[in-house]
Each structure stands twice: as structure tokens, then as C-alpha cells.
Structure 1
Amino acid sequence: MSRVLPAGKRPRLVTAAAVLGLLSPLAACSSASTAVEACMGKQATSATPGELEGTYVGEADAKGVTITLKASDKGTGGTVTVRHWPTGSWYKSELGDTFDGSGTWDVVGGTGSDAYGQVHLSFTEPERFLQDDTLDSLSIAEDGERVYLYEDDDPDVCPKFRLRPT
């Protein structure tokens, strides 16, 4: 015979099981792949310039940012145009000064079992940036319908600097 206890008198084991049930989706986000998948889709091991070509707008920390990738007829990339792109190595902790500019881009496929595809940016306007002067490498994710670009800075959480296709 089972006995129903009042809500305030439920055994601690039942309460602990309920809490664990609520936290289990959070435990699933502990790997880089799962955290990215929760926001944008699977991390891509590679992509072609044709798949990446288009305009992307920022979400979360990248709100207001726009990047347009145009594929060239040859090679692994093409030309890039950005609006409100972050400057300085501090962009990782907060967005501040931004610039509008252009340059070139290349797509690099992952090499190794845990490597993923990336878009490498090289700015020529307004001036050439040195390494760490601006965000110049973006990872690629896809959800089956769309391709996303993002900064892969913390594998345990949804990327804060991410761009979705328009």
C-alpha cells in the first residue's frame, strides 16, 4: 500500500532525484560539441567557400556586427566586408571600439580527430591588423539548414560572439 505524503514532507531521495533530473540537461552541455549544438548546430569539420558565402548578423555579444563573405572563383575563400567589427585584444572580455572594413578570408578544414573548420580573416582596410588586434578567426557550426560563425572561446558554454546568416 502506497502512502502519499504532503509536499513539504516528501522524502529527500525523491527531491534529490528531481533536482538531478532538472540538472541533467546542464550536464549534457559540458562538452564543446554539445554546448555549440545547443545554440547553433554541430561544429563543422570543413566547409566550402560556397557554403559560407553570404551575410551574417551578430547575436548576443556580437549584436550589431555584420560580416559579408563573398567567395572567389578560385581558392579556399574570397573577400570579406565587416561592419562594427571589434578591435583590440580586449574584445574577448567586452566589446568597445569597432571598425568597418574589408579584406580577404580563407576557410581551413579541421586536421585531426577533434579539430573543426575555421574561417580566417585578413583585414586590409582600414589598415592591416596584427595578430590579437582584432578577432580574425571564426569557427563554423551548421544545423542542417544554416551555417553559423562564432568565436570558440569557452567550450563549456554557448559561444557569446556568434553570427547567424540573414
Structure 2
Amino acid sequence: MSRVLMAGRRARLLTAAAVLALLSPLASCSSASTAVEACMGKQAASATTGEVEGTYVGEADAKGVKITLKASDTGTGGTVTVRDWPTGDWYKSELGETFDGSGTWDVEGGYEAGDHAQVHLSFTEPELFLRDYTVDMLSVAKDSERMYLYEDDDPDVCPTFRLRRT
């Protein structure tokens, strides 16, 4: 092999090594799972109704919020009651910044690779809420000691709307 070709190959290898060295700090940046893990436990790949059932109280932006999930006899979801739950823009003029209400819930997701478990809420009281007018989908995180429900809105930071099971 000629010296020119060898020098070109060496230059490409050095360039590739330099690019990898520059990108390696980015690889260690916080991802959704590590940001969640750092403050709440591992993002649950799947969850059952029995695992998620319970009473949760708010932390951070959810301070003062309370949610209770009761399982149905069928084992798929159940009833939900909330206190000081945030409203969407559409309902703020009618219900205020928060509301107390009830409805149903079920666990979704976690069936395909890369999915994670989510709790879907459907409010019927004080009146039927349309999707996206309030927080109605919460992700699940857990470790050996804690279980959290949280709004999965920014994957690079610890979720600010989170509720810990009591």
C-alpha cells in the first residue's frame, strides 16, 4: 500500500477517533430512563392493575394533589378519585385551576420493545372531560421501595408532575 493511501487511512481513523471522543460525553447525558431513575426509580416496562392500585400524593409541581386508584373485580383497571387535580385551559374558567373528581382508569402499554406502562384516566365527574383538557395519562416508575405515577413531558429531567404511592 502506498504511503499516500496509508496516510489518508490514518487521517480518517484519527478523525473518527476525535469525533467519538467528542460525542462520548453526549452518550452519557441523561436519557428518559436515567432522569426518571435518578429521582423516582426505573421506568416500568409493564405494570398490572394490582401493582399500580393505591393512593398517591403529589410532589414538586403536583404538591397538594392526591389520586386514589381502586382495582375493579375484573382485574383490568377500576375507579379513580382525585383531589386538587389540574384542569386544562378549557375548564379553568368553569372549574378553577384544580378540581376534585372521579372516573375510571386502566393500565396501557408495555407490550412492545421500548414501550413503558402508563395509567390512562377517564374522568366522568364533575363532568365528562375530553382528552387533553387535563392530565389523563401517567407513566409508571418503580423501584424496590417506591412506586410513582408521573407526567412524562421532558425526558431529560426528573418529571415535575409526579405522585408517590403512600
Alignment of 1:12-161 (within 5 A): 28=28, 30-88=30-88, 97-161=97-161
Q: Report if the CA contact (8 A) 1:47-1:107 is conserved.
A: yes
Larger radius of gyration: 2
> Does the residue aligned with 2:34 lie in a helix, a strand or coil?
helix
Report percent identity of matched pairs.
79
What is the rounded CA distance, in whole Å, between the counterparts of 1:46 and 1:84 in structure 2?
28
How many residues of Structure 1 are paired with residues of Structure 2 in the alignment?
137
Deviation per CA, 1:10-34, whole angstroms, max 9, x where unpaired? xxxxxxxxxxxxxx8x984520000
Flag as ranges the 4+ runs of structure 1 deviating above 6 A. Answer: none
Q: TM-score w.r.t. structure 2 length?
A: 0.77
| Alignment correspondent of 2:3 | none
The letter of the residue matching 1:54 is G
What is the rounded CA distance, in whole Å, between the counterparts of 2:130 and 2:159 in structure 1?
24
> Does the residue aligned with 1:122 lie in a helix, a strand or coil?
strand
Q: CA offset at residue 76 of structure 1?
A: 1.7
Deviation per CA, 1:45-64, whole angstroms, max 9, x where unpaired? 11111111111000000000
Q: Report if the CA contact (8 A) 1:89-1:132 is conserved.
A: no
> Does the residue aligned with 1:69 lie in a helix, a strand or coil?
strand
| Alignment correspondent of 2:22 | none
Tell me which protein shows more helix as a share of its residues: 2
| Alignment correspondent of 2:10 | none
Are residues 73 and 33 of structure 1, via their aligned partners in 2, closer, same or farther at CA, if it must alter by over 3 Å?
same
What is the rounded CA distance, in whole Å, between the counterparts of 1:145 and 1:107 in structure 2?
21
Q: Report if the CA contact (8 A) 1:56-1:164 is conserved.
A: yes
What is the rounded CA distance, in whole Å, between the counterparts of 1:28 and 1:37 in structure 2?
14
Q: Report if the CA contact (8 A) 1:29-1:35 is conserved.
A: no
What is the rounded CA distance, in whole Å, between the counterparts of 1:131 and 1:122 in structure 2?
8
The letter of the residue matching 1:100 is D
Q: CA offset at residue 145 of structure 1?
A: 2.0
